[in-house]
Amino acid sequence: LFGNGYWTLHATVTEMVPYETIVKVDESLKTGEVEEDVAGVLGDKTGKYDIMYSPYEDLPGDTYKQYTSDVIYADLLANVDTNPAVSDMFSKPWGDVTVTSFTSSPATNRVLRVGIDYTHFVTEDGTSVIAADGTPVAKKYGLQPQETFAGYEYVTTRTEANGDRVHVYKKASATPVAPSPATPTTPAAPAASTPEAPATPKTGDTNLFAAFAMLVSGMIASAAAFITKKKNA
């Protein structure tokens, strides 16, 4: 017997306090690499109790049997969560409880650094490729394939020490415009010259010419006759 109690039970209840895991991105690590900066440590809350039962309530035996050790433990655990003070008291149908001790220690959160990879789009001098809208092309999360950008030609791809992928481009060469061959002009065909027809003498001119010819013929004939006569004489 304890005091005026029918019986007294000493109980110790401990609840473990879980820690959280804090994850930080570290770009110096590759994807899949994990570094632990701080190890996680569980916290705890521990309460010690004196439980006294006095038959001031007339509880039938069958009714009292429902308060099993699991029920009593759950009620004490709920009290531990309230961070009770020493000498606090509370009552339950299964008995009167006095807190005789309470201690607690906080959990230490686990801190991890995880790797992450990016894909960069740069020119040969290391500056960002400029998009069609005039803004620099931003890096993209993860390992991405090469892309096509207006005004640029793809050169090569390399992998950095931290796992990042870098696509390298250069300014596209201006394509010379081939001059169109001049269309040959067809020379104009020379105008065909029409030979001039001999002028046809006028009718009056024809008659005059004929008369002149007869006169000349007559003169020649007379001269010939004169010469013949002279030879005969």
pLDDT < 70 positions in the chain: 1-6, 54-63, 175-180, 182-233
Q: Do 13 and 101 fall within a single domain?
A: yes
Q: Do 51 and 103 fall within a single domain?
A: yes
Average pLDDT, the chain: 83
- What pLDDT shows up at residue 2? 45
- Strands 43-53, 7-17: pairing is antiparallel
- What pLDDT shows up at residue 201? 53
Give the total number of structural domains in the chain.
2
- What pLDDT shows up at residue 67? 86
54 domain-assigned: yes
Q: Do 12 and 103 fall within a single domain?
A: yes
Q: Out of 63, 86, 107, pick the residue that ends a domain.
A: 107
Structural domain including 159 reads: 117-171
Predicted TM-score (pTM) of this structure? 0.54
Q: Do 62 and 91 fall within a single domain?
A: yes
- What pLDDT shows up at residue 65? 79
